[in-house]
Amino acid sequence: MDLIKKMLSIPLERPLTNTQRFTFVSATIAYIIAGLGMTFTPGLWNMAVLLDVAAGGRGYFILAGAGLVDIGLCYVVLSRNKSSQIPNHGPLLGTVVSRLLIINAILITFYTQGIINARFGLMFSILDSTLSIQTYIIWSRENKDASFMKFLQEIWSTVNPFSAKPPPYMIFQALGFAQFFMSFTATSILMSSGVVPSTIQGSHTEGLLRSYFVTMAVHAVLQILASGARNDSFPIASVFYRVIWNIPVFFLLAMTSQIPRGLANILIIYDVMFIVVTVVLFAREHRVKMK
C-alpha cells in the first residue's frame, strides 16, 4: 500500500500546477477510461472506428486498448510527481512533442500503408493533437517567462542522456531509448519469424498490432522523460502496470486463442525481464526512502 501511495504521490508533496492538473484529468479520461473501454468492449468501440477486423483480429484490438491504459497510468504518475514542476515542467512538455509530431507522423504512415482507416487515424490524431496543444497553452499562460525557446530548453533538460543523474536513472533512461527504437521493428520481426501469421500483413489487424507497439513506444518516451527528471514514482508504476495489468491480459488473450501463444510468451517474458531489471535498479533506493 505504501508503494501504491508513493506511485500516485499520495499525499501530494506540492500542490499541482495547472499544467499538471490538466495532464492528470485528461490522462484519466482520454487514456485510462477509453483504454478500458477498448479492452472490455472492443466490438462496441469498433462500431465507432469501423476497422475491417476479422474474428481473429479482436485480440489485437484488445491489446491496443490495454496499451492505452498503460499510457494513462504513466501520464497520471508523471503528472502528480513533484519532479514534473521542479525545476521545470520538462516531463509534461515533452509529451507535447511526442503527441503532436511523432504520433501524427506514425498515424499518417499507417494510413498511407492502408493498415488503418481514416476514421481510426483521425480519432487519435485529433485526440493527441488537441491535448498537446492545450498542454502548451496552459503551460504558457501559467509561466510569465514562457517562450518557445524556454519550452525547448525545458524539454532538452529532461531528455538529455548526457545530463548528470544517478546511475539507476541513467540506466532506466537508456532502457527507455532502447524500447522506443525496438517498438518500431518488433511487428516486422514477429511476422517474418512466424510468431505472428504473415497473413495479417497489409490488413487492419496488422495496424492494430503495430498500434500496440506504438503504445510501447509512448511508454518508452514517458520513461525517458521521467528518468531525466528523476521521477521516483515512475519505476514503481512501470512494475505495477506490468504485474497487475499487462501480464494477466497477455495470458488471458493467449488462453482464449485471441492472440498467438508465441506472441503472448514473448510479451510476458519481456515484461518479466523489465520488472526484474527495474526492481534491481531501484529496490535499494526505495527501501532507504521508506525507512
Question: What is the reported pLDDT for 104?
Answer: 98
Q: Round to whole Å and give the CA distance between 2 and 7.
A: 9
Which grid coordinates belong to 236? Answer: 514503481
Range of the domain at 156: 1-289
Please report, rounded to a whole number, the percentage of residues in the chain having pLDDT higher than 70.
97
**How does pLDDT run across 130-182, given as a tens digit for each residue?**
999 999 999 999 998 999 999 999 999 999 998 889 999 999 999 999 999 99
**Single-letter residue type at 115:** I
What angle is formed at CA 207 by the lines to CA 79 and CA 263, rounded to 5 degrees?
A: 85
Please report, rounded to a whole number, the percentage of residues in the chain having pLDDT higher than 90.
87
Question: What is the reported pLDDT for 133?
Answer: 97
pTM of the model as a whole: 0.94
Q: 200 vs 56, which has greater pLDDT?
A: 200
Is 139:148 a contact under the CB 8 Å cutoff?
no
**How does pLDDT run across 215-251, given as a tens digit for each residue?**
999 999 999 999 999 999 999 999 999 999 999 999 9
What angle is formed at CA 253 by the lines to CA 252 and CA 255, rounded to 5 degrees?
A: 60
Q: Round to whole Å and give the CA distance between 73 and 282.
A: 19
Left if phi > 0, otherwise alpha if psi is -120 to 50, otherwise beta: which for 230? left
| pLDDT above 90 (res 23) | yes
Overall domain count for the chain: 1
Element (H, E) at 52: none
